[in-house]
Amino acid sequence: MISPTSTQSKPMQFRFTPYEIPLKTPFNTAAGTVTVREGVLLELRFDATGIRHRAEAAPLPGFSRETIGHVLDRLHRDQEIITQFFRSPTKESAATFLQSYQALPSLAFALSALLWQIELHSLEAASGETVHPTEQIQINAVAGLLSPDALLHHLTQKYRQGFRVFKCKVGLHPQELADTLHTFVRIHRDVLFRLDANRSWPVDHLEAYSSLFSELPVQYIEEPAAIDRPEQLEKVLGRCKLPVALDESIQSPDQLERFARSDAARSVAAWIIKPTLFGDLYALRTLLDQYHLSERTVFTSSFETGVGRALIGWLAAHYGSANFAHGLDTGDLFSEELEKLPGGPLLRYSDCLNLIRPPDFRWQDRDLFFMSRTGIYTWTDLDMFSKTLLRWLAAEKIDLNRPMLLSAQGSDEMLLLMAACYRSRIAMLIIPPETPWNTMRERIATLPEPTRPQAGFIETEEREKALDHGVALDKDSVLGITSMLTRSDLHSFLSSSPDHPEWVPSVQESHQNTLACIMFTSGSAGTPKAIPILRSQIESAAHAAAPFMKPDPGCMSHLMLPLYHIGGSSILFRSLIYETPILLQLAGSTQTESEGARRTPDLAETARILQHNPLIQITSMVPTQLMRLLRDHDLQVHPSMKTILLGGGPVNRDLMDLIGKKQGESGLEAAHEVVLPVRFSFGMTETAAMILSGTLMDQPSDGPWLQVHPPNEAEIRPWVLQLEPESESHQPEKNTGKVVREEESLRDGGSEEGSREPEEGLLWVRGPQVVPQMDEGQIFDSDGWFCTGDIATRRGNWFRIEMKREDRIVTGGKNVDPREVENRLREIGWIRDVVVIGVPDPEWGQKVIAFVVADGVGVGVDVGVGSLNRDGNVEAQVDENLSRDGNARREIGEIIKASLRGKLEAYKIPKQCILLDKIPRTALQKVKRADLLALWESNYSDLG
């Protein structure tokens, strides 16, 4: 079996850890109601190699012969015996050792699994090759006893996840179940069913009950009646109109052998093995080989955690049927998971190994591309995925010179697809998934015909609803899409079938000006604009930013921003350019499906990641996220963290105060000892992410101040927009940026230029990462300078972004900075959130309006009430009694004036205050000012 030296056994540790996990929904068994799942994780650790082998023992109440108490008692008693055995296992000692635990099948299963892992590892070490029976294991979905409507909904949700085989419990109403499955099949014709009657059908009713399902695509029914002896099996086979599988009758080696050697064995459709209930895997392997049962063997879970299910998946890959799906879709039953095994209809063998045989420091594996809560992927996986994608495009006769349409929330599949497109030089048209279908069609129609897509991957809420109701997606053709990828397609791209030739379609060699992607601006100030981004821009942006962030070679980046925005995609592109790994934090990964949960990462999880994962040195977030991390989760970061990139919105005084407070609490006075390595940044879609940045070390009290990333340039011009200088002799002062030493930072006065009076105006930029001029909607001068539309202040080599030009309010000829008014309003105790805008006024040109979110409405400040619709846009729900009550309006005015008197000049005090339940923001938390203006114009402009 295995030699003593092959374990590299000294030193070796054996340890076990009990667990108790609450279930989402309790279930009843013969032993009573089960509300928590109890078990124990076993681990062997070989210190010389860093290799670990893991297994799980989890007796199932009401089904197992033993309890978790029996298992723990035996482990405590035999810990030294088990340790000594695994230090020098032999074939002879193994048989005796495992036999001594057969009375505790779940423990026998776990110990034999550890031994088998050592054996396989020994074979791999001797041959130099990985024992890799199959990359993918098919998984069936599970449906319990549900009402017809609930069952249809559940099956549809699982179908959308890619499942095509469904195991359904048969209750006391088989006719009702048959009718429901017939309804489902009329919509989805590519499915298979398995039925589980739990021995509940009387033998006399077998023919009648089974006939109800005879017209359905049923693979088999598991023991419809009691089968304890081979003679009973023959009777059931003779009366049942469906193929029959054995399950409860074969839960031990003796039972399996009794049925396997019977004459009726050849008529059994499938042999269902639950390893936790069966026990010794070596006894199982012997019987499967002896009676040639593997081609009909289905392995299934007994509600184990991710480790236990990974172990069963690993076992199914070696000794299960490749023609049947296996029963491992039980992770949803837990309220939480100790360690998550990726779900879905296809389970990867490598994902199983990652849980049961994780080497120490595995994240430093140079082949690691990215990891998430649902999977681990290597650069080899990406290469395989990319080649298969190219073959698929060729088979679909897609023009490779056209971009591929991508519109989906962040996911493993979306990241892989974007990475494959970039590496394969296939352009992408990236549209946020919350975009309504008609709007998506309009945006595509505005593009030049050669840049309109033929293929795509779309997972929008609108499209998922259509799938949920079985609606034919003929709208794809309206978008001009001839070939649509599904999540199941993308799963299959991760395994290269031996039938596939190595031929890959040729793609023209890339040159720097090749289109990488087309992205849309956020639209926070109006209609989103399509921005073509070149590969040269992306590479220039990555190279320009690298000297400022100073990551260690091979360090990991944390990605929590949406992939369909430039802030998130730039992290991916930087990883592809420098071949560094990513930790992808999926939006809504641990949240309930509340409003916005699908679009927002769980910040409690973010805080844990940044504090405890020392391999992450770079993360990127928006100011709102950092504010909540500091305020609600007391963010601490590990000492190796190099950069927290902060961009995508204004940094208000409250956030600067929180950052300063965190620095002060640390007791670190020296400039180089920064407890939060925040790098404030400015960038936009047109600059392929950030183009200016600055750190905490550079900031005086009136920051944040930023410097441009060379070789890009930045300058300030008068903020009354002029396309050309007034005279040919006008030469605006430019700043090409440099990486300054700490002693040259803005905090310490900088260069000679740093002592000059600051100047304010419009920020213009120029350089290799700036988008080339595409249409008249973008402001360029004849020298290639691009107007960002932002007002900034310059002090020497440093710039402070003040606001967008259109955000500044001019009332009666006087300038109002909305941020100043917002900061003062936030000092009012009952105001939780506020946005100030300027609206047209016939007398003053503009007047100041405040939109307020209050902690309560009992303060008598209601003027009008607005709310957000499901797309995050404003819908007016005006309270006529309050909003049009002059006394109420005067009351709010007096409250605001009384609070701000002496703090703001009179012309800066808002003339109207409109209560909202939520400020409309984009996915990157930018305020949708255009929506607020539209709300005012339609509902409040006549209120004075």
Give alpha helix (H) positions in 168-278. 174-187, 206-211, 230-239, 253-260, 275-278
Give alpha helix (H) positions in 320-405. 349-356, 379-395
Q: Return all residues near 162 (Cβ < 8 A) that are at least 6 apart.
A: 344, 345, 346, 486, 487, 488, 491
Over residues 122-127, mean pLDDT: 58
Q: Which helix (H) or strand (E) holds 519?
A: strand 515-520
The CATH architecture to which 4-127 belongs is: 2-Layer Sandwich (3.30)
Cα separations (Å) of 44 from 5, 9, 283, 354?
15, 10, 22, 15
**391 vs 928: CA distance, rounded Å:** 42
According to DSSP, the residues that pair with 515 across neighbouring strands are: 534
Structure tokens at 474: 């003929």
Residues 260/287, Cβ–Cβ less than 8 Å: yes
Q: Cα angle at 313 between 308 and 317, to 5 degrees?
A: 150
Q: State pLDDT tens for residues 761-794.
A: 889 999 999 988 655 555 788 888 998 888 889 9
DSSP category for residue 753: G
**697 vs 671: CA distance, rounded Å:** 6
Q: State pLDDT tens for residues 415-455.
A: 999 999 999 999 999 998 878 777 888 889 888 888 899 99
Whether the pLDDT of residue 28 is over 80: the answer is: no
Over residues 259-286, mean pLDDT: 95
Burial, 885: exposed, middle or buried (Cβ in 10 Å; 0-12, 13-18, 19+)?
middle
Q: Cα angle at 906 between 904 and 912, to 5 degrees?
A: 100
User: How would you write 125-166 as a 3-class SS string?
Assistant: HHHCCCCCCCCEEEECEEECCCCHHHHHHHHHHHHHCCCCEE
Q: Which of the following CATH numbers is that of domain 808-939: 3.90.1150.10, 3.65.10.10, 1.20.210.10, 3.30.300.30?
A: 3.30.300.30
Whether the pLDDT of residue 140 is over 70: the answer is: yes
Q: Return all residues near 881 (Cβ < 8 A) that are at least 6 apart.
A: none
Looking at the chain, how many residues does it have?
Answer: 944
pTM for the full predicted model: 0.57
Q: State pLDDT tens for residues 149-173.
A: 999 999 998 998 899 999 999 987 8
The larger pLDDT score, comparing residue 761 to residue 747, is at 761
What are the two backbone dihedrals, phi and then psi, of residue 646, each rounded to the nearest 5 degrees?
-125, 115
According to DSSP, the residues that pair with 620 across neighbouring strands are: 645
The CATH architecture to which 136-342 belongs is: Alpha-Beta Barrel (3.20)
Q: Return all residues near 456 (Cβ < 8 A) that are at least 6 apart.
A: 404, 405, 406, 407, 429, 476, 479, 481, 483, 484, 485
**729 vs 713: CA distance, rounded Å:** 20
**26 vs 33: CA distance, rounded Å:** 6
Fold of 376-509: Rossmann fold (3.40.50)
Alpha carbon 564 to chain centroid, angstroms: 13
**471 vs 668: CA distance, rounded Å:** 61
pLDDT at 441: 85
Over residues 206-211, mean pLDDT: 94
Nearest alpha carbon to residue 137 among 413, 491, 412: 491
pLDDT at 773: 66
Neighbouring C-alpha atoms within 13 Å toward the C-beta of 476: 23
**39 vs 309: CA distance, rounded Å:** 13
According to DSSP, the residues that pair with 504 across neighbouring strands are: none
According to DSSP, the residues that pair with 835 across neighbouring strands are: 851
Domain chopping of the chain, boundaries = 4-127, 136-342, 376-509, 808-939
- Longest Cα–Cα distance of the chain, Å, equals 105
DSSP category for residue 851: E
Residues 404/485, Cβ–Cβ less than 8 Å: no
**655 vs 647: CA distance, rounded Å:** 13
Give alpha helix (H) positions in 143-252. 148-160, 174-187, 206-211, 230-239
Q: State pLDDT tens for residues 810-864.
A: 776 677 878 888 888 888 877 888 999 888 887 677 889 989 887 654 333 334 3
Nearest alpha carbon to residue 296 among 315, 320, 279: 320
Q: Return all residues near 99 (Cβ < 8 A) that are at least 6 apart.
A: 280
pLDDT at 798: 92
Structure tokens at 935: 């709300």
